[in-house]
Amino acid sequence: MRRFSQHGRLVTLSEINITPLLDLAFVLLIIFVITTPLLEKSIDLQLPHGGQPERRLDPNDIRTVEITTTGVYALDRQRMPLAQLISRLTQDFRANPNTVVYIRADKDSRLDFTAQLLNGCQNAGITRYSLRTDPTTP
């Protein structure tokens, strides 16, 4: 810290300049505001059109499964094989019976991939799932 002389004595400056800290905080806030929407979509999917806007559920009850055109599965933005995905969904359903599985399948993906997932959910006793669509008109 700097010492200033005041009438022949040395005085210590005890104030901290917080302006650079505020500048850094605002820059980080802007970066997070810009990057957060980009993190919400992990797989680029083209959902089929139709359906109605969704009603609100408790976010803790929702598990989102995404299926690409090549049959790659992702549970809550984590890619994994179908068997592991069904196992994780089963664990989540046993821990929380209100679990709802949102299925986001690309409109050009084979129906077989979605059918395999639905069959696995039914075999595990998971009966609450929702096939997601894009409610906007093309």
To 5 degrees, how large is the angle CA 64–CA 108–CA 58? 15
pLDDT in tens, 69-113: 888 999 888 899 999 999 999 999 999 888 889 988 888 888 889
**pTM of the entire structure?**
0.59
pLDDT for the residue numbered 44: 67
Domains detected in the chain: 3-39 (no CATH), 59-131 (3.30.420.270)
To 5 degrees, how large is the angle CA 107–CA 109–CA 113? 125
